Structure 1
Amino acid sequence: MTEETETRVEGRSGIRDVVSVRLPAASAYLSVLRTATAGLAARLDFTLDEIEDLRIAVDEACAMLLSQAVPGTDLTAEFELTGQEMQVRVEVNTVGSTAPKRDDFAWMVLTALADDVDAVTDFPDRMAIVLRKRRGAARPA
């Protein structure tokens, strides 16, 4: 398991922090990502409810990806912290890339817990789910 942290300055918008975590694509390691998610969200002063929403959303996104991951490969997660927002991108190697069904219960959970959710298949045999959560953003009722 590796963890990298980098900080970059982005013009007038201030400092942007990026934390990358790579771990085996196995559910036994998801607790590491849940802990990292909570710690980074706390750093942005998210509320306890917002932190829990993010932890559950990251866990659900990973579960969706792990079902398609090539055994023995890695899951990578990139956390980008900018001001009052966190973006989380979780990604795995797959055999082919079938985007998640957007009418599936798991997808509905993701969209309820995060402000923005997208599935990305930039490369064949690679899939990512990207979540964005803004501090203090009201969720639809």
Structure 2
Amino acid sequence: MTEDTAVPTADAMSVRDTVTVRMPADSAYLSVLRTATAGLAARLDFTLDEIEDLRIGVDEACAMLLTQALPGTDLTTEFELTGDGMRISVSVLTTDGRPPARDTFAWTVLSALAGDVDAVVGSDDRVSIVLHKRRDPVESV
């Protein structure tokens, strides 16, 4: 009896990498995160406008979370790169496990910049904001 074995391919749609950045939950370190966001988005061939949207979106998500971060805790950002986009999860341990309000101007801006946006609360009061940005399809000339 023979068994067929699937061999992974390296086409553009199957690319998947994960990068995690952990740093103190302090706004003084956000420039490092903005730079990492831009570099990873450039790796996926996002346009300059899309890269800037992601940088601002990550910055906004961090600003929303840092206001409720436990003192002395870390801000963790996980970037998942796929063939057609990037999923970014920013999380921090909080004092009360309260997700950010979705009816605010900041949430509206975040949604406009990042595409799909969600907030998740873990059992340990860790609050995460998850952004999922897909590249705009390339138009043929």
> Which TM-score tier does this pair reach, normalised by the shorter chain?
0.7 to 0.9
Query: Which residue of structure 2 aligns with residue 74 of structure 1?
Result: 74
1:107 aligned counterpart, secondary structure = helix
The alignment yields a C-alpha RMSD, in angstroms, of 1.5
Aligned to 1:61: 61
Cα deviations across residues 121-140 of structure 1 (Å, max 9, x unaligned)?
A: 02232100000000116xxx
Question: Conserved in 2, the CA contact under 8 Å of 1:96 and 1:124?
Answer: no
Q: Which runs of 5+ in 2 are unaligned?
A: 1-7
- Give, in whole Å, the separation in 2 of the partners of 1:31 and 1:51: 14
Count how many residue pairs are aligned between Structure 1 and Structure 2: 128
* Percent identity over paired residues: 69
C-alpha distance in structure 2 between counterparts of 1:44 and 1:129, whole Å: 21
Q: Can you list the C-alpha shifts for 1:77-129, whole angstroms capped at 9, x where unaligned?
A: 00000001100000001111111111111101101101100000022321000
- Gaps of at least 5 residues in structure 1 are 1-10
Q: What TM-score comes out, normalization by structure 2 length?
A: 0.86
Return the structure number with greater strand share. Answer: 1
Residue identity in the other structure for 1:60:
E
Match for residue 86 of structure 2? 86
Which deviates more from structure 2 when the two are superposed, residues 47-56 or residues 94-103? 94-103
The TM-score with structure 1 as length reference comes to 0.86
Equivalent residue, structure 2, for 1:25:
25
User: Hey, what does 2:3 align to over in structure 1?
Assistant: none
Cα distance in structure 1, aligned partners of 2:114 and 2:126: 22
